[in-house]
Amino acid sequence: MSIYNHTNVTTPLPSEAKWEGLGVGLPLLDVHTHTIVSGHAFSTVQEMARAAADKGLQILGITEHGPSIPGTCDPIYFRNLHVVPREMYGIRLLMGAELNILDTNGTLDLDEWYYKNRLDFCIAGIHRLCWQGGTPEENTHGMIEAIKNPYVKIISHPGDGEAQLIFEPIVRAAKEHKTLLEINNASFKPCRGLDASHDNYTEILRLCKKYEVPVILGSDAHISFAIANYDYVLPLLAETDFPEALVMNHQPDFFLQYTGIESRN
Ligand SMILES: [Zn+2]
Ligand SMILES: [Zn+2]
């Protein structure tokens, strides 16, 4: 039985892929999700935590968009994260942010004070709404600068084609700096029109397998029902015969130890 049968909402499956048979354990964490605070998502933090608990997760990460995305929260939201309990409904909550990589220097769109004092962790990614790109080499440099930032633990959707990138140096930098590359489920939704995703993520997985670099699957859920939905990316793990040991989502202790993430309250 699919683990996604917990809800009454049916998500169209791109394939018959299930966790069973892929050699990957059931997901115990999802750390790339958004709530109504991001301005274009549809569930509250409590609804998200409840759904994550119902799906059997141990860790849920909430990562609202950084200030450069229209309609997202004011930075005062991040300042007040100390009010949020880091345990809800028996799961561990990590309160973070999805920052924007703004340019080919790897500039991020939130002051370092927030990473140092309030956020449990940061993920960072390129969003075309606020990205000043250049050549593939320059874009790659920008992403690698973000990878080097010790507060950035995950690069969100590196394979969605929002910028032309060269993946080999990115994968090698991710290994060196222990920054995880995300295999992002939402990048594959047909309505997104991110047609490069299949080829790009396949290449990222092949390189991560070759260089033995862990990856993390991210749902990028913008509504509670989508938490830990990895239906689009599971077939890629099978196609690339990706090693189970290099997937973080069923290894919460390894994830916390590898990234050094700690809750702030
Ligand atoms: Zn994103
Ligand atoms: Zn996101």
Domains in the chain, start-ordered, CATH in brackets? 23-259 (3.20.20.140)
Tell me, what's the pLDDT at 51? Answer: 97
Tell me, what's the pLDDT at 18? Answer: 52
Q: What is the distance in A from the centroid of ligand 2 to the CA of 79?
A: 20
- At residue 23, does pLDDT exceed 90? no
Nearest ligand to the CA of 125 is 1
Nearest ligand to the CA of 131 is 1
Lowest mean per-residue pLDDT among 18-27, 73-82, 242-251:
18-27
pLDDT top residue among 132 and 10: 132
Q: What is the distance in A from the centroid of ligand 1 to the CA of 62?
A: 12
Nearest ligand to the CA of 41 is 2
What percentage of residues in the chain have a pLDDT greater than 70?
Answer: 90
Nearest ligand to the CA of 221 is 2
Q: What is the distance in A from the centroid of ligand 1 to the CA of 243?
A: 25
Tell me, what's the pLDDT at 37? Answer: 98
Q: What is the distance in A from the centroid of ligand 2 to the CA of 127?
A: 9
Q: Which residues surround ligand 1, an ion (CB under 5 A)?
A: 125, 156
pLDDT top residue among 80 and 194: 80
As a whole number, mean pLDDT of residues 64-82 equals 97
Lowest mean per-residue pLDDT among 23-32, 39-48, 134-143:
23-32
Question: Do 149 and 108 meet the contact criterion of CB atoms below 8 Å apart?
Answer: yes
As a whole number, mean pLDDT of residues 225-245 equals 94
- At residue 230, does pLDDT exceed 80? yes
Mean of all residue pLDDT scores within the chain: 91
Q: CB neighbours (10 Å) of residue 50?
A: 18
Tell me, what's the pLDDT at 243? Answer: 94
- At residue 13, does pLDDT exceed 80? no
Tell me, what's the pLDDT at 161? Answer: 95
Among 2-6, 44-48, 232-236, name the most confident range: 44-48
Bridge partner residues of 87 (DSSP): 92
As a whole number, mean pLDDT of residues 202-224 equals 98
Q: What is the distance in A from the centroid of ligand 1 to the CA of 238?
A: 24
- At residue 145, does pLDDT exceed 90? yes
When pLDDT is cut at 50, 70 and 90, the band that residue 24 belongs to is low
Q: What is the distance in A from the centroid of ligand 2 to the CA of 2?
A: 24
CA distance 208 to 166: 14
Q: What is the distance in A from the centroid of ligand 1 to the CA of 173?
A: 20
| pLDDT tens, residue by residue, 146-205 | 999 999 999 999 999 999 999 999 999 999 999 999 999 999 998 898 899 999 999 999
